Structure 1
């Protein structure tokens, strides 16, 4: 056993050289760890000391109002410049520029036959929209519209046509820049691209934005949004960390990732990447074949979220956008009915992601509801202050009513209306509303029964903060007599009524949409009844109707002419039936009054 003991000790115990190496490595590792901890501690202390003073001063200046820049173009607050809101002009808010991308021709692509997979990128100010991609076409048809909110006119709108390439960088086919100078509406016009070949057909319309839209309302009345106050406070302080939304998408630093999921975007093939969900946006980032793809979808542009299937076996989520929203970061796809959609697949848990998206939309809608309440409260305060000011100044101007004018959004499109008829109604506008349109009136029930329409449902009139006056919704199933239509179709009609201050004039407007007819989602029928009191017992009724095309269609001229002729006859029948119903109701009420007088002792 004696010879084995030294051998065992040499095997179990390290040598002197091994002990020196282990001790040196341990000392070096401990020194590096101490240096790292000291550096991190100093950085944290400098950040805390640099951010305390601005944060404390910002907390003292914060107001208690809860209002956020929301509505149709809330997402223009992107990046450093986009976080500053549009300044309110003397006459109200900014301008809405609507561009309709109709078609193109003579496009030369990189394919062997000269065809291409074109899509358009429309840029206006700091906003950018993507059209859908039309595969293998030299003369593509789009029929898509895009809405932009700008601060002032003139403004430049740039349309660039690209040839989609799945692997390599998309090639530019050509571009054109159009300057919008004033408020106007141009018809469909062809524009030459800056390349040797290619033309593009566009329609432009620019209108004034109404001051009661969310952002303009806030700026004109001096109400500062909580998001803007947070941004102003955080700009004064040092930001400790920047998330992927700031690095990849250049979004404002108040955008925080609530959830992120691994998934793939359906293009020519599935582009794998990552989805980010924040309070205001749904983002997707992909980097396949060194080709980066960044998609930004504002929650305000999402119309519907549905579970779907990709290639029949892969669970997917399809997101439908509102009309006029446009693509954000990549050419979007269009379904058979023309709805804009994005499809995401290859989730680890499709149902979990779907619930997270639904929760984000519900939170966003709750924010909008809170905003409406705050806006109604501010409007009430402004009205009360105006009335109080008029009462205090009655010694100087006893009959002058100092009141802030409140403008409302138009309920229908005035540009499509045309005069149809002008007749007299045997009653005042007030009696017309109470007898024909009132909640207790049976006129529409009797009229639809006579036409053999079914499933009539009338909601009650309710006050509208957006349009002023009162609004309600009417749904029914109407018979169709056209050979191209089904036997009957579901119809939704939105009605709006507004009186003048003296109750002598009434504006009654309707938006009529048939759902089951061909191209039913492409158009609406707008109608306006203008009732003006002419005597104590009569009023003049002027009726205008028009077809508002929500999407471009190759048959839109035929749709407009056919729908206008049919609805013209419908409106004349409604007016005639309303006069007969009113006279009968007046005669019945007069007879009942006589019976009561005779029966009384």
Structure 2
């Protein structure tokens, strides 16, 4: 059975009904019910699974009086019989509101940029329906120790859960991401370190400032959290001890959360959340503190799981997109790699030739230097010889002059002797 046929059977829609789009959201009531809303040509349908109790809500377009934005986050559908349904936690509320009003007013859907028809060729429809299968169980606040307030089933392994939510660099949705979404300030989260008292346990701390509602004369408070975890192949135990520093009676108690994550069949895992309120001092406000703390945790985990589902859906869309473009990127990368290899070969050859030329030019320059030195030496020797020859010629001329002078004096002496 195709996903379209499954939805038609699930909501008892007429055969041939066109389902245009679906969105993650929550049906607001005393306890918000998280699921998916489906927009078809004649119906608006909502599906959720709360603690194993499935909810199928089908609203006919013709029975709807108006659809309007109730506040920043909510969409309210008012029926002709004045019955009202309020939906919240949309990723893009304005887009969904415009789409609903277009259906109500019979406008052409081609004007909407994101109006993709829900048909049998969609590969991720079934997974989107499965993502709505999140069990949330809320218990009454009868005790202050180890209340299991909710549980969630995820379609991935225990190790994946750790990488997504708990690791230092949590890849999907960390506690830092969650507090940042809640507009907390002055956040400081340390890295996991080994507990000195227990080598299989890890510790880290977080400090932040959180906004408050319903507390007289206080609009924010400093928070201090201590986290621990133990992990093996069978389960993960993750705890958080919270001290609320600036609220009335804040020095009388601390809140403790414990996550127990265990594997299921088919590569799935289940998260059970337990909450305790531990009192360090006696106070007459004990019951009030417990009730308000439990309500606060339930509201916070509703926001947490909704944000997690949005992250998972975005990841699935990105994975599908990357799969489609994988071969193109792979081909481009191979071309780049080949071009790089060719370039490296050319560069290597050029460097080799350059080194050879340098070596050859070096040999030539050495030979030229030797030849120049030899010529210079010969030139100097010739110059010295010429100087010596010149000096010898000058000396010979002087000797000849002396000989002539001696001959002249000798002749004069002989003439003088003859006269005597």
Note whether the superposition's TM-score is higher than 0.5. Answer: no
TM range (shorter): 0.3 to 0.5
Q: Which one has a larger percent helix, Structure 1 or Structure 2? A: 2
Q: Given the two structures, how large is their TM-score scaled by the length of structure 1?
A: 0.29
The normalised TM-score by structure 2 is 0.41
